[in-house]
A and B are shown apart, each in its own frame.
Chain A
Amino acid sequence: MTLDDIIYTDVLVVGAGGAGIRAALEASKHSAIDVALIAKTLPGKSGCTVMAEGGYNAALRNVESADSIESHFQDTISGGAYVNNERLVRILVENAPARILELENDGALFYRTSEGKIDQRAFGRQSYKRTCYSGDRTGGEIMTTLVDLLRASNVRFIRGAVVDLLLDGNKVTGVAAFNPEGAKFFLIRSKAVILATGGGCRIYKVTTNSFQGTGDGYAIGYRAGAELIDMEFIQFHPTGMVFPDSAKGILVTEAVRAEGGVLLNNLGERFMEKYAPERMELAGRDVVARAIYREIRAGRHTPHNGVYLSLKNLSPDFVEERLPQTLEQFRDLSGVDITKEPMEVSPTAHHIMGGLHISEKTETTIKGLFAAGEVTGGIHGANRLGGNALADLQVFGYIVGHNAAQYALKSSLGKIHDDQITQIHRVVISPLKPKQDGIRPSQIRHKLEELMWTKVGILRTKEKLTRALQDIQRLKSTPMKVANQNTTFAYEQLEALQVRNMLTVAEIIIKAALFREESRGAHFREDFPETSPSWRKNIIISNENIHTVPVVVL
């Protein structure tokens, strides 16, 4: 395999989720710019945007006129335990309304109030009803709109996975990529690169994420020397399915609770009363997840080791209209009729609040490398509000598309350096060839998923984290052996590349979790259970270096 196929473009978007497609569309509006989008599957066929259900937060004030941009801002930073980058939050809340109205102009349809405006519902930890939604398939609605726009645009679609960035001095000059269908490695030379690769919760055994959520962008950026921020903050969504095994971890949207679903332990108690008496089921996700985890750990769990989420107060007609996808999901994947019996749910790894450290212009710390969406960090602080992610993707996807295009208009293509290509051959490509020793990438992946779930989960300790770090280092030095040498559909080679990324991401998360000796938002240390004001700062990791910086305030 040689890196002798070269594609040229001006702006390369990596990832075709909500942020990636939006970025590509915006960049392509600049007529002098060639835009290419690379993704591991056809747009809409992977990633988490298409699975997202609950909603999109925007201070439209269609239902509660007392709502405001300021309130959305305050809810976001208090929900984030005050370590959000306030300037990024400001950008998010100010632009969220415009982006959703644009989506509707482009064909999306959201549910209505009786006056015919976009309806907004209550959602976790929010002071006013500002979550716009389309049934319980809001992400699906957004994706179907974006994919149509993408198909009609002049963005070039490339099938493949980015392996690593290529740099010319201190600026990005392109990427090395791999297409498993044909087992082809190739280069893409580009003036600007936008990482929109989404999250990485597939490092956890129980996760909402699609199979493609392997954290590629974090690892690729890190290896190129970019800074990552807030990597200790992992959101465990309080409610994932628990049975059958096949369905474990699949998202049960917060909308269920927003529409009136209640959480009960096996004694029939509405236990959120003990943990968050004011907000109850709509407390922050970190609070609810820990509450559920504690109930389960105390033995007050359901037959399948979860807690109950009951819709006993809702009529079947209401459920069919507002929660049709949840109804379908439980019926088809576990044989449960949610209008007749309660759901069993349990926390599941969902979202990484941390990621690539970006400026307000969505620039990373590498020139020409931009980022948007879940792969970035700083917007959501220590805990993300439900409904803020879909807004994040459209707001920052829009900004990054224009910024990267403008950068490309003023830049020249960098040079490709042979030593980087040689390095990729040695470190990445050669190990994929047939060999004697090693274990399969899937086996390494399973060990990783298990150790992350048991040692780097909702309640952390120094002891567990330290052992986890040792486990990771052992796994990193275990040679991987790709058993499938077929080139027509070389998925296992892609899996090896993904596992490489997953190990990098996991290690960074553990190091950040060890470093933060306090509890804040989604990061809970049983050995440091208090939130410490002196820890109101962010952890930056890059090039083996870990340090803190003050929180960016307005």
Chain B
Amino acid sequence: MKKTVRLKIWRFDPENETHGHWQKFEVPYKKGMRVLDALWHIYENIDPTLAFRFGCRAGQCGSCAMMINGKPELSCKTELLPDNEYTLEPLPTFAITKDLAVDFAEPFEKMKEIRSDFAKSPEEAQTFTMDEIKDLLEYHKCIECYNCIAACPSVAESWNEFIGPTYMRKYAQVQFDPRNTKNVFEKALSDGLFRCTTCKACVEACPKDIDLAHKAIEKLRSLVVKQGLGPLEGQKEFIERIRSYGKAVTIEKQPLTGKDGQFGEYVGEGEPVIFFTGCMMDLRLQKIGKDLIDVLNKLGYQVIIPKDQVCCGSPAIRSGDFDLGIRQFKKNVEILERYGVKHVIVGCPGCGITLKDDYSRWAKEILKRPLKFKTYDLNEFIYEKVMKLPPPENLLELKVTYHDPCHLNRGQGVKQEPRDLIEFTGAELIEMKEADRCCGAGGGVRAGIRDFSRLIASRKAQYIRETKAEALVTPCPFCIFQLKELVKNEGIDMEVVHTATLLNRLLYKSSKK
């Protein structure tokens, strides 16, 4: 029996139809075949009217971008596996020419505006070091496939208000070139520089792996801040708080940390790990902090809560205040390295990416040595241990759905572990559509442009509602904050909880025998 691949393709001819329709195809499977090969097969052997774009078929010209199973990809690079069905749609955001072919003239022309005059070298021969041009070369790799524009949740709400990742890349490319003579960061600002949540859907979609979130958005924001044109008013508040007392939020109740910390510094018995709380668990969602500590204790760990730990600095870093970020880094590294304990656990993915990426980078650049500790998200840290436990006797009877926090999923590659942990508790996991679509809270957008942040979140409402779950699980305090508000405003009857809370319920239930 010869193997085949099934494709479900959106057909629409705007010149001759008022609406489109799905059409299914089955093509013979050939090892290593790509989506583009299947499209050629259909055109040559099944339906000559199928429209799609192509060029180099080697991932270098950017012609063939389309939505494949809901994600923007290059059809020439995406592999097809036998006995699977793939859904193909045109990229959103752009005018459809026909079927899978969209009109790239508009995004192509848009790039025209972002340029500058470069200083010409008098002897006509420029001098640079490789170090000077390393980041620039990364920007230059862009093939303008526009996958990132299709992936971006901010562009999806308003391409007018946020121009999109590849254009921000171009702003950075022009601004940071040593030959540049004209500032373009003000235009980047008015093109929505602060509307990016740093969710990295663009980085995931980029066929050239350009580090758009950090090297374009954050670097431009940092320049804007240095020039005194940023951050945004709403962001200045948390910047001030971090600067004056080391926390991003106000202190309204007894914190988890500090000399009057609720639980003291050493909690429980067993192998010691450090709990880096982050401001949200420390001062707002403290119950989640408690759940996390309980779970670790029950799994045999002693939890150390350093009294004087401060904000990781992420809100400052994402908003462009790198200096404040570095100040927090220096303070926290001194504190965290004091205990001689190698494992640092976080329950907040924002802290997670900051400690894993920014702190590691600064350790190399500023301290000229690696960090003496390794940071783990709770889900990845306890995963193996939990999976080895005997099946729990008193399972949770709960229908839940799951939202991937951007800084955990794309930021740290932790995607399957929380799902497996949920299933371990006995809860029934119902996947929502676009579970990894950004909630809109990150990157300083919730503080800086709250209504835009809520607009991004609102797109998830229908997907959440459709699951008919009793609880929405997501291991990120900031997503919890944002999505709690969303379900309340949308009248969706669902609790929003951290995986730590769910696990603690299970372990509590099981220990009650």
B141 in complex: contacting residue of A137, A151, A247, A491, CB < 8 Å: A137
Of the 9-residue stretches B98-106, B239-247, B250-258, B298-306, which lies at the interface with chain A?
A: B98-106
Assess whether A96 is interfacial by the CB under 8 Å rule.
no
Q: Give the shortest distance, in Å, between B446 (CB) and chain A (any CB).
A: 36
Binary contact track A437-465/B, C-beta < 8 Å → 1, others 0? 00010110000000000000000000000
Name the segment of B107-115, B357-365, B400-408 touching the other chain. B107-115
Of chain A, the residue at the smallest CB distance from B137 is A109
Interface flags for A34-59 (1: CB within 8 Å of B; 0: not) read 00000001101111101100000000
| List of B residues within 8 angstroms of A334 by Cβ | 32
Residues in B neighbouring A484, C-beta threshold 8 A: 48-49
Instruction: Point out the residues of chain B lying under 8 angstroms from A101, CB to CB.
Output: 124-126
Q: Are B14 and A488 in contact (CB under 8 A)?
A: yes
Contact mask for chain B residues 185-219; partner A; CB cutoff 8 A; 1 contact, 0 none: 00000000000000000000001100000000000
Asked if A117 and B55 sit within 8 Å, CB to CB, the answer is: no
A50 close to B142 (CB less than 8 A): no
Measured CA separation A104–B130 after assembly (Å): 15
Residues of B within 8 Å of A244, CB to CB, are 30-33
| Neighbouring B residues of A318 by C-beta, 8 Å | none
Stretch at the interface among A6-14, A192-200, A289-297, A325-333: A325-333
Cα A331 to Cα B15 in complex, Å, equals 40
CB proximity of A454 to chain B, nearest CB, Å: 21
> A152 near B112 (CB under 8 angstroms)?
yes
A183 → B minimal CB distance (Å) = 10
> Are B124 and A105 neighbours in the complex by a CB distance under 8 Å?
yes
CA distance A50 to B57 in the complex (A): 12
With contacts A112-B128, A117-B127, A487-B15 taken as known, whether A51 is within 8 angstroms of B58 at the C-beta atoms is yes
B111 partner residues in chain A, CB cutoff 8 A: 148, 151
Q: Which residues of chain B from 48 to 105 have any CB-CB distance to chain A below 8 Å in the complex?
A: 48-49, 51, 53-63, 77, 97-99, 101, 104-105
Tell whether A473 is near chain B: CB-to-CB under 8 Å: no
Tell me the minimal C-beta distance from B118 to chain A in angstroms.
6
Q: With both chains docked as a complex, state the minimum distance between the C-beta of A300 and any C-beta of chain B, in angstroms.
A: 24
Closest residue of A by beta carbon distance from B173: A107
Instruction: Write the B299-340 contact mask toward A (1 if CB under 8 angstroms, else 0).
Output: 000000000000000000000000000000000000000000
User: Is B144 an interface residue when CB atoms closer than 8 A count as contact?
Assistant: yes
B129 contacts chain A at the CB level, 8 A cutoff: yes
Cross-chain contact A44 with B144 (CB below 8 angstroms):
yes
The interface centre, meaning the residue of A118, A151, A246 with most chain B CB atoms within 10 A of its CB, is A246
- Are B126 and A489 in touch, CB under 8 angstroms? no
**Complex: how many Å from CA A291 to CA B210?**
39
A487 to B53, CA, bound (A): 16
CB contacts (< 8 Å) of A492 on chain B: these are 48
CA separation between A112 and B129, bound complex, in Å?
6
Note all chain A residues with C-beta closer than 8 A to B127: 115-117
B137–A211 touching, CB < 8 Å: no
Within 8 A of A (CB), among B112-141: 112, 115, 118, 120-121, 124-130, 133, 136-137, 140-141
- Is the CB of A339 closer than 8 A to any CB of chain B? no
Q: Known: A137-B141, A250-B58, A488-B97. Contact between A46 and B48, CB under 8 A?
A: no
Interface residues of B in 332-382 (CB under 8 A from A): none
Whether A116 pairs with B58 at a CB distance below 8 angstroms is: no
**CB-CB < 8 A to B44: which residues of A?**
440, 442-443
- Are A488 and B125 closer than 8 Å at their CB atoms? no
B58 touches A329 (CB 8 A): yes
A42 pairs with B108, CB closer than 8 A: yes
Closest to B35 in A: A246
Question: Is B410 at the interface (CB under 8 A from chain A)?
Answer: no
Give B34's nearest chain A residue, CB to CB: A246
- B233 within 8 Å of A by Cβ? no
* Closest beta carbon of chain B to A68's beta carbon, Å: 17
Cβ contacts under 8 Å, A335 to chain B: 32
How many Å lie between the Cα of A244 and that of B33 in the bound state? 7
Q: How distant is the Cα of A141 from the Cα of B173 in the complex, in angstroms?
A: 13
A141 to B104, CA, bound (A): 21
Contact A332 B55 (CB under 8 A): no
The answer to whether A135 has its CB under 8 Å from any CB of chain B is: yes
Task: Determine the chain B residues whose CB is within 8 A of the CB of A266 once the complex forms.
Answer: none
Check if B124 sits within 8 Å of A111, measured CB to CB. no
Interface assignment of A466: CB less than 8 Å from any CB of chain B: no
Task: Scan A121-149; emit 1 where CB is below 8 A from any B CB, else 0.
Answer: 00000000000001101001100100010
Asked whether A152 lies within 8 Å of B133 as measured between CB atoms, the reply is no
What is the distance, in angstroms, from A130's C-beta to the closest C-beta of chain B?
15
A144-B98 in contact (CB<8A): no
- Measured between beta carbons, the chain A residues less than 8 angstroms from B62 are 44-45
Chain A residue at smallest Cβ distance from B116: A107
Q: Is the CB of A332 within 8 A of B77?
A: yes
A335 to B208 Cα, complex, angstroms:
16
- Tell me the bound Cα distance from A335 to B77 in angstroms: 11
How many angstroms between the C-alpha atoms of A115 and B130 in the bound complex? Answer: 10
- A416, CB-defined interface residue at 8 Å: no
| Distance between Cα atoms of A141 and B143 in the complex (Å) | 10
Answer whether residue B37 sits at the interface, using C-beta atoms and an 8 A cutoff.
Answer: yes
With A42-B105, A333-B77, A488-B98 given, is the CB distance from A148 to B115 under 8 Å?
yes
A245 and B30 within 8 A (CB): yes
Q: Are A117 and B13 in contact (CB under 8 A)?
A: no
Whole-angstrom CA separation of A44 from B107 in the bound complex: 14
Q: Does B160 make an interface contact (CB < 8 A)? A: no
Are A210 and B56 CB-contacts (below 8 A) given A112-B129, A135-B137, A332-B77? yes
A170, chain B: closest CB distance, angstroms: 37
Q: In the assembly, what is the distance between CA of A517 and CA of B174, in Å? A: 55
Instruction: Tell me the minimal C-beta distance from B19 to chain A in angstroms.
Output: 15
* CB of A64 within 8 Å of the partner chain: no
- List, in ascending order, chain B residues with CB within 8 A of A489's CB: 13, 51, 97-99, 101
A486→B13 contact, CB < 8 A: yes
Hey, which chain B residues are within 8 Å of A333, CB to CB?
Answer: 34, 58-59, 77
Q: Is the CB of A250 within 8 A of B55?
A: no
B215 CB, min distance to chain A CBs, angstroms: 15
Most chain A beta carbons < 10 A, residue from B53, B55, B121, B129: B55
Q: In the assembly, what is the distance between CA of A135 and CA of B61, in Å?
A: 17
A147 and B36 CA atoms in complex are apart in Å by 25
**Once the chains bind, are A141 and B32 in contact (CB under 8 Å)?**
no
Nearest-CB residue, chain A, relative to B37: A246
Cα separation A543 to B121 with both chains bound (whole Å): 49
Q: Is B451 an interface residue (CB 8 A)?
A: no
The interface residues of chain A lying within 8 Å CB-to-CB of B142 are 144
The 6 closest A-B pairs by CB, nearest first: A244-B32, A489-B51, A116-B127, A484-B48, A483-B48, A489-B98
Q: Which B positions have Cβ atoms within 8 angstroms of A? A: 13-16, 30-34, 36-37, 43-44, 48-49, 51, 53-63, 77, 97-99, 101, 104-105, 108-109, 111-112, 115, 118, 120-121, 124-130, 133, 136-137, 140-144, 177, 179, 207-208
Instruction: Name 5 A/B residue pairs within 8 A (Cβ), A-sorted.
Output: A41-B53, A51-B60, A109-B140, A334-B32, A488-B51
